[in-house]
Structures are given as C-alpha cells and as structure tokens.
C-alpha cells in the first residue's frame, strides 16, 4: 500500500481536528454522550470537498431534527404496546427511506437521516420513555455539534474546492464529445470509441451529481451554478445528435451509397473546426450552415431512400454545429463568470432529471422495515438487553446501502471488517480509555487509529473497509458509556451491533437483491414507458428532461452490462437508440399541427407506436413497419408548409432507422403509386 498523499493527509488532519473540536465542546458543555459528536464529524466527511461536506451537513442537520421529532412522537405514545411501537418505527424508517430513494441528489439525506435517526434515538429510550425528550434534545445537540464542527473546519482550514474537479470533468466531457464527433465525421469509429461513448453517459451523470454540491462550495463558482447546469444540459442534448449523424452515415454506407465528395468535404470542414476546439465567429458559423445546405436534397414525393437518408444527415449536421457551438460559448461564459450570459442558463434552473425506480425504492423500504421488525420481535420475545442496538443497526445499514442492486454484498464486507474492529475497540474501551484522565491524552490516544482510517476512507480501493473499521470503533464509543465499560457490557453491545448488521444483510439478500440482468431489463422498460408517454401525448412536451433521464439510464446500463456484452457490439443493442427515437418522436409531435393532410396517419402511427412500446421486450412487427411507411408516404405527398414538413420527414426517417435498422429500404415507388391511386 502506498503512503498517504498530500490530499489524503490534509483531509485526515482536518477530520481529526473537527472531531476533536466537537468532542472538546461536548465535554465542556456537559452533553450526555460526547462521542456521538465525534463520530458525526467523521460521518459527515465522507468526501474531501468543502462543498460536499457543507451540503451534506445542512441536509443531515435537517434530517436529524426531523428524525428526533418522530422518535419523540412515536415512543411515548405507543410505549405500552411493543408491537405497535415496532410497527410504527418500521414504517417510519421504511417510509423515509422510500422518499429518499426518489431523489438521487444530496437532498435525499434529509429523509434517510430522518428515518434512522428516529431509530437511533427511539430504541434506546423504549425502557425509559419519560426522559426521551431530554435524550432526544441531547442527541440532536451532539449530532448537530459534530456536523457544524466538520463544516466549520473544512470551510476555514485550507478548504478544498470542488470547482477544479467539476471543471476538469466538464473539459474532459467536452473533449470526449469532440473526439466522438471527429471520428464520426471522418467515418472512423473503432470499437473502443463506441465503448467510450457509453461510458461518456455515465460520466455526465456523475458530473451532474458532483456539480449538485456547487451551490455550497467555497469558491466563486457557486455563483455560476445555473450556467454550469445549463452547460451540462446542452452537452446532454448533444449526444443523441452525434449518435444520429453516426447512424445516418452508417446507413448510407450499408445501402451501398457512398457519400459524395461534396458531403465528405463539408464533414471534413466541420470536423477540422470541432477538432480545433475554438469558438466560431458568426461568419464561420454561417459558412458551415451554407455548406450543409448545398448538400441537402429537397424533400420531394418520389425521393429515393438514400436521398431521404442524406436529407436526414444534413439536418442533423445543422443541429450538431449549432449545439456544439453553443456548448463552447457556454464554456467560455462559465470561465469569465458571466452571470446572465445565456438566456437559457437564466431560464433553465431546473434540477437534474435522473432515473428513479419506484419499485426498487419500495423493495428497499420493505427490506428495511422487515429487518427492523425481525430484530424488534426477537428483542420482545427474549428481553435481550441489546435488542435495541440490533434494531438500530438494522435501520442504519438498510439505509446506507439501499441504492445498490446488491446491498447484501457490501453489508457483508462491512460486517466482516466490523468484526475485525473488535480487538481495536476492546483495547480502547477496556485498556486505554480507563487510563486516560485528560482531554489532551485522550486526543493523543485516539489519533493513530482515526488518522490512518480516515485517510484510507477517501482512497477508493480501501474506502469501504476503512469506513467499517472506523465506524466499528467510533460506533462502539458512541453506543456505550465509556466510563462504565466492562467486558460483559462490551460483548453485549458489540453482539447487538453485529446481529443488527447481519439481519440487515440477510433480509437484503432475500428481499432486496436484484441481478444485473434484471436491473438492465427494468431500465430498458422505463425507457420504453417514457417513449410511449411521449408518443401518446396530445400536446407538445418539452423534451430536455426526457433526454436527461434517458442519458442517465445509458450510464446506468453501461455499469450493469457484463463485460463480454459491452464488447460484443453486434449482439448488444445500442443504449443510445432510445435517445434518438425519443428525439424523433418529439419532433414529429411538434410538427403534427402543421401537417393537416397527413396528420391523421401520423397520429395513428404515434398511437400504435405507444401501444407497442408499452409491451415490455417486444420487438417491432411488420404491421408497425407498414404503418410507418404509410405515414411517411402521406407526409411526402402532402404539400410542404414551412419547415415542419421537412422536420417531420427527417424524424420519420430517424424512426425507421431506429426501429427497423436491418429492414430493406423504404419502398418508395410502390407506396407512392398506391397512395396516388
């Protein structure tokens, strides 16, 4: 193992200082259990950035207050009925967990903390509900003190801004998009590039989640968070456009219709500009659009299939140039700190639209409630003194790992390393701490273990194991009276912790774990339902939120596809396909009102497409293909009224390519003659 880096050492020192500050103040003002404040200071600082720590601190503080209020409301009123108390606490923790899983931003901490904080405060007070209010207030004070000390130290003492991480991520994302565009326009797309594009979607999602901490950052970038969000949304909208351009080029090559030299020249000119990474001046932008216009065939009723593909390609090239130029301009605006540089940035302040699986959230909530219920029933039947500790740990660990497909696996790792922490915590509680009589000596005795483990906690390869060891030690301090610790009390306490963790892992493995294959199916079905809703709507919808959510799903799919499937391009459906189909449906919906003669057939096509998409894992059939061809024929024969006619034709070509990529070209002659007669 490598020695600690400068950043790891600095982070660990700041964690230690904040924890000791919280511990010292707790002792000074006479709080019931000062080690809760110390442990909280470490719990808040799971990432090294000041913005992340401050945002989590705020949400954790709100969750702690809400959870304390729930415990004070539940325990005294239901204390005479242990089963009702168990049911109420299980429902509270499960309900809060369900709500938290519907939000994948840091705001989710509010309800997650509200859930298991009620368990942490409520279960130890079951035997003495009269003093619950005072205990609850004390616990809120301890936890709040730890939160505020962590936020204060990481803000004032050499704060580490999240801005460089986010800006480097933005630049890398733009660079990856630039590479994708250049390789597409030069008709050179190796398999490695295709895999990197799927990874790009996951990187964008992670970047958006990281950027959600920007408003809490210590640097000036927090004043431009809305512009950063708008830039990320613009990058998101760029991905289906590049994918569509790539698809049209491939379709023309597969149809035996190589691109004419003029088209190659235009794409070469665009690729050279993109590769330069320079913002184009207005005249250069107009020049590229004029060049694209020269290779754009006019939409006519008797167009050949390759001409339709060429028209679609040209339209997507226009979109590509405009969207990428806008990305570059917004990146410049972000650097110069222009607050109102973009009307889009000022108007678009919406939060990230991310994939939410309500079914899995409900499963997680039920698993947490069941785990707590099992511990409580055992506690009631056996009158085990540490039954409350087991129920608390079941609530905590059911919540901690609820976002994973297989939460049982990390729970087992946490359980194993909690067991490994027993000798360390036993040494401190039974040997070292009884010999300590001053705060200075206490701080010195604790330092070696917490310094090493907190430094390892931000190293990805060791994070989970280090956190398990660290919280195994600090959790034991917090759950026991360190001044009266004896071997039997210690063994009872640690047994309760291990039992609760083991029950949570067992319940998760039985009721909550899903395979990667099932997760992939659920994500794909969610895409289909979104597309069906878009196709069946009778009003024009704004689609950026849909594109954002689908791109998030592309990243989620990439992390779940087996390695062998990721490299088998021929056998694995393109995850970006749903993005392209969604954009084409949206364009067709917006153009529908401008197609009076062909509108009925297009509306019928969209309704049938929605019905098909609502049937999970069903392949498009020949009937849907015929309806698509008929609608395309009717649109081609309809008089062109404004640009909507052209957009509708291009969208239907895109739908045909997306739904039936291996089908024979559109039968122009037969369909046109039949429609005319």
Q: 604: how many CB neighbours lie within 10 A of its CB? A: 13
Q: What angle do CA 242, 248, 254 make, to 5 degrees?
A: 135
pTM over 0.75: yes
Residues ≥6 apart with Cβ < 8 Å to 377: 86
Report the distance separating Cα 372 and Cα 97, nearest Å. 13
Q: Which residue has the tokens 């301090």?
A: 477
Question: What is the chain's percent helix, strand, coil content, to nearest 5?
Answer: 75, 0, 25
| pLDDT reported for residue 568 | 41
Measured on CA atoms in the order 129, 133, 138, 142, is the torsion positive or negative?
Answer: positive
| pLDDT reported for residue 204 | 77
Contact 619, 566 (CB under 8 A): no
Report the distance separating Cα 46 and Cα 136, nearest Å. 25
Chain-centre distance of CA 629, in angstroms? 38
> How far, CA to CA in Å, does 18 sit from each of 38, 61, 86?
8, 16, 36
Exposure class string for 114-142: b at 16+ Cβ within 10 A, else e: bbbbbbbbbbbbbeebeebeebbebbbbb
In the structure encoding, which two tokens stand for residue 145, read together?
């003190």
> Helix, strand, or coil here: 27?
helix
Helix (H) or strand (E) holding 344: helix 343-347
> Helix, strand, or coil here: 486?
coil
Residues ≥6 apart with Cβ < 8 Å to 594: 641, 642, 644, 645, 648
| Mean pLDDT split into 10-residue runs, the chain, 677 residues | 82 94 93 89 82 83 91 86 90 95 86 91 78 81 90 86 83 88 79 62 75 76 77 83 88 79 90 88 90 87 84 92 91 72 48 81 94 93 87 92 89 92 90 88 93 90 91 86 74 88 93 84 87 79 71 74 46 67 85 77 88 82 86 82 81 88 67 50
How many residues does this entry show for the chain? 677
DSSP letter string, 231-274:
HHHHHHHHHHHHHHHHHHHHHHHHTT-PPPHHHHHHHHHHHHHH
Contact 167, 57 (CB under 8 A): no
Report the distance separating Cα 152 and Cα 168, nearest Å. 26
| pLDDT reported for residue 259 | 79
Q: 654: how many CB neighbours lie within 10 A of its CB? A: 25
Report the distance separating Cα 118 and Cα 629, nearest Å. 60
Helix (H) or strand (E) holding 607: helix 599-613
Report the distance separating Cα 384 and Cα 363, nearest Å. 29
Report the distance separating Cα 60 and Cα 112, nearest Å. 9
Q: 542: how many CB neighbours lie within 10 A of its CB? A: 8
| Burial classification of residue 444, based on how many CB atoms lie within 10 Å of its CB (0-12 exposed, 13-18 middle, 19 or more buried) | exposed
> Helix, strand, or coil here: 158?
coil
Taking the CA atoms of residue 665, residue 670, residue 676 and residue 677 in that order, the dihedral angle to the nearest 10 degrees is: -160
| pLDDT reported for residue 59 | 87
What does DSSP assign to residue 162? S
Report the distance separating Cα 561 and Cα 571, nearest Å. 12
Report the distance separating Cα 209 and Cα 559, nearest Å. 16
> Helix, strand, or coil here: 163?
helix
Report the distance separating Cα 58 and Cα 188, nearest Å. 49
Residues ≥6 apart with Cβ < 8 Å to 14: 45, 153, 154, 157, 158
Report the distance separating Cα 330 and Cα 227, nearest Å. 7
Contact 598, 635 (CB under 8 A): yes
Contact 154, 218 (CB under 8 A): no
Closest CA to 215 of 88, 49, 79, 66: 49
| pLDDT reported for residue 316 | 92
Report the distance separating Cα 551 and Cα 155, nearest Å. 34
Residues ≥6 apart with Cβ < 8 Å to 72: 121, 132, 133, 136
Q: What angle do CA 165, 12, 468 make, to 5 degrees?
A: 95
> Helix, strand, or coil here: 190?
coil
Closest CA to 430 of 385, 468, 483: 483
Contact 39, 54 (CB under 8 A): no
Helix (H) or strand (E) holding 589: helix 577-591
| pLDDT reported for residue 368 | 94
């Amino acid at each position: 193992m490598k020695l600690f880096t400068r950043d790891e050492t600095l982070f660990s020192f700041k964690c230690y200082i904040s924890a000791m500050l919280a511990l010292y103040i707790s002792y000074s003002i006479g709080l019931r259990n000062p080690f809760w404040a110390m442990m909280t200071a470490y719990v808040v600082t799971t990432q090294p950035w000041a913005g992340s720590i401050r945002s989590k601190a705020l949400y954790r503080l709100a969750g702690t207050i809400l959870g304390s209020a729930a415990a004070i409301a539940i325990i005294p009123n239901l204390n005479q009925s242990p089963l009702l108390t168990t049911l109420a606490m299980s429902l509270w923790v499960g309900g809060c967990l369900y709500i938290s899983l519907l939000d994948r931003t840091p705001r989710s901490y509010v309800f997650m903390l509200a859930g298991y904080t009620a368990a942490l405060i409520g279960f130890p007070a079951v035997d003495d509900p009269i003093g619950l209010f005072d205990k609850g207030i004390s616990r809120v004070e301890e936890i709040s003190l730890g939160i505020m000390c962590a936020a204060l130290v990481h803000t004032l003492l050499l704060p580490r801004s999240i801005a460089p991480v986010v800006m480097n991520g933005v630049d890398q994302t733009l660079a990856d998009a630039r590479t994708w565009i250049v390789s597409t326009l030069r008709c050179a797309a190796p398999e490695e590039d295709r895999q990197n594009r799927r990874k790009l979607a996951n990187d964008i999602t992670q970047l958006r989640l990281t950027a959600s901490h920007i408003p809490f950052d210590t640097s000036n970038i927090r004043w431009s968070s809305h512009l950063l969000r708008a830039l990320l949304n613009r990058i998101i909208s760029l991905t289906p456009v590049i994918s569509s351009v790539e698809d049209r080029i491939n379709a023309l090559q597969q149809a035996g219709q190589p691109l004419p030299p003029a088209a190659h020249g235009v794409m070469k000119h665009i690729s050279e500009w993109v590769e330069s990474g320079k913002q184009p001046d207005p005249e250069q932008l107009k020049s590229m659009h004029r060049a694209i216009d020269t290779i754009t065939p006019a939409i006519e009723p008797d167009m050949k299939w390759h001409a339709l593909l060429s028209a679609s390609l040209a339209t997507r090239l226009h979109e590509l140039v405009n969207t990428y130029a806008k990305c570059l301009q917004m990146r410049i605006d972000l650097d110069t700190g222009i607050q109102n540089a973009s009307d889009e940035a000022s108007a678009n302040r919406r939060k990230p639209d991310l994939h939410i699986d309500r079914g899995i959230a409900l499963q997680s909530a039920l698993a947490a409630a069941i785990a707590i219920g099992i511990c409580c029933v055992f506690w009631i039947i056996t009158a085990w003194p540490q039954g409350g500790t087991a129920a608390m740990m079941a609530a905590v660990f059911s919540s901690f790992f609820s976002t994973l497909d297989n939460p049982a696996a990390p729970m087992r790792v946490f359980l194993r390393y909690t067991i490994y922490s027993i000798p360390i915590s036993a040494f401190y509680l039974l040997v070292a701490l009884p010999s300590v009589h001053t705060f200075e000596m206490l701080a010195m005795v604790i330092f070696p273990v917490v310094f090493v483990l907190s430094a390892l906690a931000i190293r990805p390869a060791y994070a989970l194991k280090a956190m398990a060891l660290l919280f195994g030690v600090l959790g034991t301090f917090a759950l026991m009276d360190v001044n009266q610790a004896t071997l039997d009390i210690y063994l009872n306490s640690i047994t309760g912790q291990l039992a609760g963790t083991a029950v949570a892992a067992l319940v998760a493995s039985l009721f909550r774990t899903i395979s990667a294959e099932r997760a992939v199916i659920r994500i794909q079905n969610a895409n289909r339902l979104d597309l069906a809703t878009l196709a069946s709507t009778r009003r024009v919808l704004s689609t950026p939120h849909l594109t954002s959510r689908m791109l998030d799903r592309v990243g989620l799919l990439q992390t779940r596809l087996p390695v062998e499937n990721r490299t088998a391009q021929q056998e694995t459906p393109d995850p970006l396909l749903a993005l392209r189909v969604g954009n084409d449906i949206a364009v067709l919906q917006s153009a529908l009102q401008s197609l009076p003669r062909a509108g009925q057939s297009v509306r019928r096509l969209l309704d049938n497409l929605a019905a098909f998409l609502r049937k999970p894992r069903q392949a498009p059939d020949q009937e849907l293909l015929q309806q698509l061809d008929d609608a395309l024929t009717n649109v081609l024969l309809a008089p062109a009224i404004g640009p909507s006619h052209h957009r509708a034709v291009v969208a239907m070509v895109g739908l045909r390519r997306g739904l039936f990529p291996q089908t024979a070209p559109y039968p122009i002659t037969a369909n046109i003659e039949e429609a005319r007669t």
